[in-house]
């Protein structure tokens, strides 16, 4: 415009560029949501091209050397600003992401995308047929590329696995997570040993639950928790997830199994993810600092609504009559105490996504440990099934009958997502700390839940967690919200209090 570019201009230009990249990310989310909910199935081929193109352009726009020049130009401004300010945190986060992203050659990125796309159907078949050997070559290729990726960006990392973890839980080291998990493991193993012997009746949770009524109930729960119907939608999918394209375009999905009540808890879980998106800071909407902080913090939100609210006695005191009305055949003879005990049954099992609150952590630790072994070359990939089965026996006392119910059960590795699993447990642990922090500020929290009054909880989460976006690291976010970084004890105390 004829003016000499000044620093404020560089900041505006950077925000404009990041806005563009954010828009492309949101467009990709809608394309992916559409693929999983609405797209005619034969459209898969077209959609792969469309998504690859949008993602590649987003990457090119972000790793454009021009972004590097803007960041250089902005260094003096960044240093002059309050480090907690919106602009300083934006520049710092962008620099961090940029430096990681530019180190990855486009050819490697393309190869990784390609390998994942090829591995997916191979994994689906291998899982169905419990045939690990047929998946092994795909996994080898994925791991080979992942290790190349680590080589590109490992600069300064204490452990190679740090690089992968950082993609999902930024600024968090393997050592930190390992320390947390080591603290959790012995008490969890002990608790499981103690609880597995108990005979808890939860037979009423299995039976005939017509999906129509599940759907009505899921919508009722979401309404009770609180949402603006003009900003949310809920649809059925094979695997539940939360997505969307902004504060006012929140989409959650669930799966109405005709023989279980899973959908109810999974809806509460996805509601927590959805609320996090819905309450993200409006003024940072098209910026990376406006997005979620990490997968761990995201999961803390979903687990809070699913477990701390959704399995609590106050909630069910209010909601159980509705469940009884909805499924009288199942619940008219079951009193609240029996029901509440039933949704807290502890049963070590083979499948992570079906695991109860207590055994869940062991499934995560097993994967976290095996992934480190893979990255550090301490295990041959062909030996993974055996190592998996040994750990399942050691941690949960469970015998794995076949690889379909063992090492092949999760989709993550086939998609190249190595480093992801620990965030499930990080979030679960953090959810208790956050819940207790809410309780300190809102002493009547349980009464509110019992009265179906969720505004104070939503507001607290909005102000103390969601409003921070990703301005700060996950640990700093947690510290600001709760007064403490992640800690095992509150979670262990909660489990003992609730289950023992």
* Residues labelled as active-site residues: 270
Stretch (H or E) spanning 232:
strand 232-236
Q: Which phi and psi angles does 261 have, rounded to 5°?
A: -100, 10
Query: Which lies closer to its own copies via its Cβ, residue 199 or residue 230?
Result: 230
Q: How far is the CB of 37 from its own copies (least distance, A)?
A: 8
Query: Which lies closer to its own copies via its Cβ, residue 229 or residue 443?
Result: 229
Q: Are strands 232-236 and 250-254 parallel, antiparallel or unpaired?
A: parallel
Q: How far is the CB of 43 from its own copies (least distance, A)?
A: 3
Query: Which lies closer to its own copies via its Cβ, residue 248 or residue 402?
Result: 248
Q: How far is the CB of 62 from its own copies (least distance, A)?
A: 13
DSSP 401-450: --GGGTTTS-STGGGT--S-THHHHHHHHHHHHHHHHHHHH-TTHHHHHH
The closest alpha carbon to 400, from 473, 350, 344, 351, belongs to 350
Query: Which lies closer to its own copies via its Cβ, residue 3 or residue 497?
Result: 3
Taking the CB of residue 384, how many other CB atoms lie within 10 A of it?
22
Contacts of residue 336, defined as CB under 8 A and 6 or more positions apart, other chains included, come to 313, 316, 317, 320
DSSP 233-260: EEEE-SS--EEESSTT-EEEEE---TTB
Q: How far is CA 432 from the centre of its chain?
A: 16
Q: How far is the CB of 183 from its own copies (least distance, A)?
A: 41
Query: Which lies closer to its own copies via its Cβ, residue 131 or residue 249?
Result: 249
Q: How far is the CB of 191 from its own copies (least distance, A)?
A: 42
Query: Which lies closer to its own copies via its Cβ, residue 202 or residue 249?
Result: 249
Q: Which phi and psi angles does 335 have, rounded to 5°?
A: -85, 170
Q: How far is the CB of 288 from its own copies (least distance, A)?
A: 15
Q: How far is the CB of 61 from its own copies (least distance, A)?
A: 8
Query: Which lies closer to its own copies via its Cβ, residue 41 or residue 156?
Result: 41
The closest alpha carbon to 367, from 412, 301, 416, 397, belongs to 412
Residues in a beta bridge with 260? 206
The Cα 180–Cα 178 span in angstroms is: 5
Measured CA distances, 73 to 21, 298, 347 (Å): 20, 33, 57
Instruction: Tokens for 431, please give them.
Output: 């959810």
Per-residue b/e over 144-157, b at no fewer than 16 CB within 10 Å? ebbbebbebbbeeb
Instruction: Tokens for 286, please give them.
Output: 């098209």
Query: Which lies closer to its own copies via its Cβ, residue 290 or residue 490?
Result: 290
Measured CA distances, 4 to 7, 8, 10, 68, 295 (Å): 10, 11, 11, 19, 41
Query: Which lies closer to its own copies via its Cβ, residue 194 or residue 285?
Result: 285
| Contact assessment for residue 73 and residue 7, using Cβ atoms and an 8 Å cutoff | yes
Q: How far is the CB of 25 from its own copies (least distance, A)?
A: 9
Interface residues with its own copies (CB under 8 A)? 19-20, 23-24, 26-27, 30-31, 34, 38-43, 45-47, 49-50, 52-54, 57, 61, 228-233, 245-251, 285-286
Q: How far is the CB of 286 from its own copies (least distance, A)?
A: 6
The Cα 71–Cα 143 span in angstroms is: 33
């Amino acid at each position: 415009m004829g003016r000499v570019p000044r620093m404020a201009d560089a900041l505006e230009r950077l925000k404009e560029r990041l806005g563009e990249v954010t828009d492309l990310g949101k467009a990709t989310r809608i394309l992916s949501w559409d693929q999983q909910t609405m797209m005619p199935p034969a459209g898969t081929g077209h959609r792969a091209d469309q998504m690859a193109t949008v993602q590649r352009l987003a990457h090119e726009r972000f790793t454009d050397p021009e972004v590097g020049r803007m960041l250089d130009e902005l260094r003096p401004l960044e240093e002059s600003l309050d480090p907690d300010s919106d602009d300083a945190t934006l520049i710092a986060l962008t620099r961090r992401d940029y430096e990681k992203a530019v180190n990855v050659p486009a050819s490697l990125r393309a190869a990784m995308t390609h390998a994942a796309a090829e591995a997916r159907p191979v994994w689906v078949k291998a899982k169905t047929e419990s045939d690990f050997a047929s998946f092994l070559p795909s996994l080898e290729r994925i791991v080979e590329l992942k290790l190349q990726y680590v080589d590109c960006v490992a600069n300064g990392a204490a452990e190679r696995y740090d690089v992968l973890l950082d993609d999902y839980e930024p600024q968090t080291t393997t050592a930190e997570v390992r320390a947390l998990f080591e603290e959790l493991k012995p008490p969890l193993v002990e608790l499981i040993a103690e609880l597995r012997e108990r005979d808890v009746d939860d037979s009423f949770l299995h039976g005939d639950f017509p999906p129509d009524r599940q759907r009505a109930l899921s919508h009722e729960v979401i309404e009770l928790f609180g949402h603006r119907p003009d900003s949310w939608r809920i649809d059925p999918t094979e695997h539940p997830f939360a997505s969307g394209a902004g504060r006012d375009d929140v989409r959650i999905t669930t799966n109405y199994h005709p023989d279980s009540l899973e959908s109810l808890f999974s809806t509460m879980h996805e509601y927590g993810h959805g609320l996090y998106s819905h309450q993200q800071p409006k003024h940072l909407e098209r910026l990376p600092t406006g997005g979620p902080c990490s997968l761990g913090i995201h999961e803390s939100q979903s687990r809070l609504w699913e477990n701390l609210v959704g399995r609590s006695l106050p909630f069910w005191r209010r909601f159980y009559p509705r469940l009884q009305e909805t499924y009288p055949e199942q619940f008219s003879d079951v009193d609240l105490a029996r029901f509440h005990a039933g949704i807290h049954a502890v049963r070590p099992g083979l499948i992570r996504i079906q695991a109860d609150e207590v055994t869940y952590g062991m499934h995560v630790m097993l994967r976290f440990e095996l992934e480190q072994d893979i990255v550090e070359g301490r295990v041959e990939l062909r030996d993974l099934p055996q190592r998996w089965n040994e750990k399942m026996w050691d941690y949960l006392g469970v015998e794995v009958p076949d690889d379909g119910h063992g090492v092949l059960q999760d989709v993550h590795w086939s998609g190249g997502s190595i480093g992801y699993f620990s965030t499930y447990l990080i979030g679960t642990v953090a959810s208790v700390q956050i819940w207790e922090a809410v309780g300190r500020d809102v002493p009547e929290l349980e009464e509110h839940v019992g009265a179906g009054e969720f505004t104070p909880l939503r507001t607290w989460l909005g102000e103390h967690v969601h409003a921070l976006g990703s301005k700060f690291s996950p640990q700093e976010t947690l510290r600001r919200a709760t007064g403490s970084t992640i800690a095992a004890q509150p979670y262990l105390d909660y489990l003992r209090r609730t289950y023992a």
